[in-house]
Amino acid sequence: MNLQSWTPGRVNLIGEWIDFNGGTVLPASLPLGVEITLDPSPDNFDHVTSAQFPGKASAERDAPAQKHWADYVFGALQTARKQGWIKGAQTVRLDSTIPAGAGVSSSAAVTVGVLKACVPNGVDPTRIALLAQSVENEFIGVPCGIMDQMAVAHARPGEALALDTRALKFEQLAIPEGWTFAVINSGIERKLADGRYKERRDACLAAAKYLGIDYLCDAKDLSALPSNLHPIGQHVLSEDARSRAAIAALRRSDALAFGHQMLASHASLRKDFKVSTPEIDALVDDAVQLGAWGARITGAGFGGCIVVLLVDIKPAQWWADLHAAHPASRWICDVKAG
Ligand code: GLA
């Protein structure tokens, strides 16, 4: 008998680079996802095929990561076996509509999805999210926070997940009628494992250590920070405040205030945290010029997607105009009221 799951990707509406700094974030699930099917393997190897990539990847049951996209599956299978959820090696098939390398959590969807397929009924999705994060941190070697795994494990269509990343408490908030969040790929590919994620994360941890606190979001005064860490602290503190303000705006269906926080978030990611690119800045600017209420780079940055708030506007015409000005950009999907 085979095991199956479907898991969505996510877009982060606001609250960037604060999920390992004790902050509050606001991701939402995408209508795109990955379908995963597992069957017992005929040998002692895990085998993975994908409808989107040619060939087959195989690894011995307890082998270390191979720097291959299938590592997310191998790592999750090893974790599921350690938990006692499955016994032997597996043959796994993936079929995904989530674009890879675009910052919309295709990898978190795979790790959470494999674990979800293996898990016995009644296991808390937060536990699955934490195990999936440990696969990325320990097996793959990317020191990511918990936002993506929590988002894809918990988020429901038409809702955003207001998540306190420290307490792992969350609230599912309905996206107001009439709001459309468009997810647009800039066409600039990014990779989390290329070291820049770790570099930024280490700078945040260094800043917190400098101030003698566990979480940078708890800083009261940044003036003691050396000049290279000051902008990092400035982004983290202000982004946490913006994220909370945006959540309050979402609750009262105040699109103007929400869009304002998105724009301020982008400016901070560009100027202080320095994870945007000139092409993405131009895409964000034009998205707003053409009538969006807010726009920002989303996910870890260095390329990937922007998320845009459209209200009282026809998305198709808006997108046709934006695409004409930025031919490399691609429409990924939209997220709106359920
Ligand atoms: C990646 C990480 C997340 C988070 C974002 C930036 O998506 O996986 O944990 O840190 O970057 O907000």
Tens of each residue's pLDDT in the chain, 338 residues: 689 999 999 999 999 999 999 999 999 999 999 999 999 999 999 999 999 999 999 999 999 999 999 999 999 999 999 999 999 999 999 999 999 988 999 999 999 999 999 998 888 999 999 999 999 999 999 999 999 999 999 989 999 999 999 999 999 999 999 999 999 999 987 765 578 899 999 999 999 999 999 999 999 999 999 999 999 999 999 999 999 999 999 999 999 999 999 999 999 999 999 999 999 999 999 999 999 999 999 999 999 999 999 998 999 999 999 999 999 999 999 999 98
Which atom of ligand 1 is found nearest the CA of 105?
7
- Whether the Cβ atoms of residue 209 and residue 215 lie closer than 8 Å to each other: no
Cα of 242 vs centre of ligand 1, distance in Å, is 17
* Alpha carbons 111 and 139: distance in angstroms, whole number: 11
* Alpha carbons 162 and 216: distance in angstroms, whole number: 19
* Largest distance between two CA atoms of the chain: 61
Which atom of ligand 1 is found nearest the CA of 25?
12
What does the pLDDT read at residue 192? 58
Tokens 């468009």 found at:
182
| Ligand 1 pocket, mutate which of 72, 112, 142, 148 (most atoms under 8 A from CB) | 148
Number of Cβ within a 10 Å radius of residue 132 = 33
Element (H, E) at 297: strand 294-297
Cα of 317 vs centre of ligand 1, distance in Å, is 31
Cα of 255 vs centre of ligand 1, distance in Å, is 24
Cα of 60 vs centre of ligand 1, distance in Å, is 30
* Alpha carbons 142 and 190: distance in angstroms, whole number: 14
What does the pLDDT read at residue 311? 97
| Ligand 1 pocket, mutate which of 19, 161, 297 (most atoms under 8 A from CB) | 19
* Alpha carbons 283 and 293: distance in angstroms, whole number: 14
What does the pLDDT read at residue 122? 83
What does the pLDDT read at residue 133? 98
Residue bearing the CA closest to ligand 1, atom 2: 144
Cα of 274 vs centre of ligand 1, distance in Å, is 15
Cα of 40 vs centre of ligand 1, distance in Å, is 33
- Whether the Cβ atoms of residue 305 and residue 189 lie closer than 8 Å to each other: no
Residue bearing the CA closest to ligand 1, atom 11: 300
Residue bearing the CA closest to ligand 1, atom 9: 145
What does the pLDDT read at residue 189? 79
* CA 28 from centroid of its chain's CA atoms: 9
Helix (H, G, I), strand (E, B) or coil at 159: strand
**Side chain identity, residue 331:** W
Which atom of ligand 1 is found nearest the CA of 192?
1
Helix (H, G, I), strand (E, B) or coil at 134: helix
What does the pLDDT read at residue 191? 61
Residue bearing the CA closest to ligand 1, atom 1: 300
Nearest to 107 by CA among 252, 287, 300: 300
As for ligand 1, residues whose beta carbon falls within 6 Å of it are 12, 16-17, 19, 144-145, 147-148, 299-300
Which atom of ligand 1 is found nearest the CA of 108?
8
| Terminal C-alpha separation, the chain | 34
Q: How many Å is the Cα radius of gyration of the chain?
A: 20
Number of Cβ within a 10 Å radius of residue 62 = 12
| Ligand 1 pocket, mutate which of 10, 111, 112, 147 (most atoms under 8 A from CB) | 147
What does the pLDDT read at residue 193? 55
Instruction: Quote the tokens at residue 113.
Output: 């999805």
Q: Which residues are catalytic?
A: 148
* Alpha carbons 188 and 101: distance in angstroms, whole number: 9
